Amino acid sequence: MATPGSMVAPPAKVSASKGGMTVQWAASPMARSYDVLRSATVAGPFERVGTELTGTSFVDTGATGKEAYFYMVKASTYSGLSGPSAVASVPAR
């Protein structure tokens, strides 16, 4: 569901994989870019690790892979950000 002030729904089908800590998602209609957020716990807090991305995937080069990571994605339009996507996780190696 879109957040107030934004006409775009959050990205769907968000997934994350260990192979290079890659996060992927389905495009949101009307989105002009995406932000990827990461946390060490499912409840957060989440920090922005990728901003103004125009594609539908992101490789998290700041992740070590030695711990679990949780990701969510927000879509951006000229009127604001969507709400967060569902959380995708990558287990510790």
Ordered by where they begin, the domains of the chain are 12-90 (2.60.40.10)
Mean pLDDT of 40-55: 96
Mean pLDDT of 59-82: 91
The pLDDT confidence band at residue 34, using thresholds 50, 70 and 90, is: very high
Q: Kindly state the DSSP code that residue 66 receives in the 8-state scheme.
A: S
Integer angstrom CA distances of residue 89 from 27, 53, 58: 19, 20, 14
pTM of whole model > 0.85? yes
Q: What is the overall mean pLDDT for the chain?
A: 89
Mean pLDDT of 80-92: 92
